[in-house]
Amino acid sequence: MNLKNLKIDLLKNWREISRSGSENQFYIKIYHIHPLSKVDPKIRQDQSLPSPGPNVTVTKVGVPTPSSPPLKEFYEMMKGAISVGYLPGWTLQKLDKLYKELTEGYYPGEGDFSGDFSIVQHQTEEIARQSFKNMALMPTRGFDIPIPGGVHLPGLPKDVTFTELLESEAYEKFVSQYIPKEQLETLRSALKEIQEKQIPQVRKSFEKSGVKYKEGKYLGCDVIYVESKNLTPPPKPKSSSLKTSGIGGGGFDDRLDPLPKISQPYQKKIVIYQAMLLKNFIISGSLLWAVSSLLAANTPCYSLTRSKKKTRVTREGGEVFTDISIVPLASSYAQEGYLHKEEIEKIIKSVIFSLAQL
């Protein structure tokens, strides 16, 4: 099958930016639509509503949000600040140029995240597996890794490495009909410098920092991943006398219901997926890299559309005063459409399913 025609099922909050492909390669870039791009920005601020009677105040309480606004809204905020002189040194022309660069390089103004993945189809599963393994070996072994599929030249073993191949007389004799010997020597010299100087430095750096390339399983497939120490110290126990919402960086608003607590155990190791192997296909790209760093679907937040009424009655000087607050209900990232780990996993599963059918 021509991979260019590969079908990818995107979720409702995702859109395609671009794609390219050929018989054996496929690439797609997609972006996530920020849920705040679908609501009035005013909902994040307290709003006074018409009163049903004397001594009654009605307030629609602003919704705390866990992330920065979508790019388009940020652009409008910046434009307003520049027009009234709040940002010396900035001009509307400079802002327009920056906005254009961001929307063309990352995602449209309604988005908050973009990622990509690529698929390479190899001739056989054996070649694919060796190419896959080489992705974990190359950072610390350089070109001293087996050539996938081997090289069929007289006098060379089947598991010949790239270094052995370039240094062999058989290869020199073979390429002499295509390139001058001087060019081959230049290539040999460059690769030798990398192998003898740069690779040992990388290896030493990895050993010092604890970074390791490993093979494992993820979503039922073999994966190459990078494992490193979590340099962020474990969170300290919070004092029970302090109430914080965990959203927006401010103190807890007692008009809001506290968000439910979920289990988020501290991870001593950070894992970043690099590549995935399925039959004779290798999947890689920034969507794989990002997935392990995202928050879970059940991460608590406040609803952008659902609310309830809270009433507080006070008496003062013989009069009764009523404060009515319209407050957002507790919700979750998945319910509100915020970017989360499980939705990217669903997209990756769609890719796996499509490839499994080939």
Segment 1-26 mean pLDDT: 88
Strands in 25-33's sheet, in edge-to-edge order, are: 14-21, 25-33, 111-121, 281-284, 269-278, 221-229, 212-218
* Cα–Cα distances in angstroms (integers) from residue 324 to residues 42, 192, 311, 327, in the given order: 19, 75, 5, 9
Q: Evaluate if residue 157 carries a pLDDT over 90.
A: no
pLDDT of 98 > 60? The answer is: yes
Cα(first)–Cα(last) distance of the chain, in Å? 7
How confident is the model over 96-110, as a mean pLDDT? 88
CB-based burial of residue 125 (10 Å sphere; 0-12 exposed, 13-18 middle, 19+ buried)?
middle
Using pLDDT thresholds of 50, 70 and 90, give the confidence band for residue 240. very low
Q: What is the pLDDT of residue 1?
A: 58
Task: Kindly tell me if the per-residue pLDDT of 245 is higher than 60.
Answer: no
Asked if 330 and 245 count as a contact pair (C-beta separation under 8 A), the reply is: no
Q: Which among 187, 226, 201 is positioned nearest to 142, based on CA atoms?
A: 201
pLDDT at 106: 87
Dihedral, CA atoms, 158, 161, 162, 167, nearest 10 degrees?
Answer: -90
CB-based contact 63:308 (threshold 8 Å): no
Beta-bridge partners for 217: 222
Higher pLDDT, 53 or 328: 328
d(CA 83, CA 267): 46
Instruction: Check pLDDT > 70 for residue 32.
Output: yes
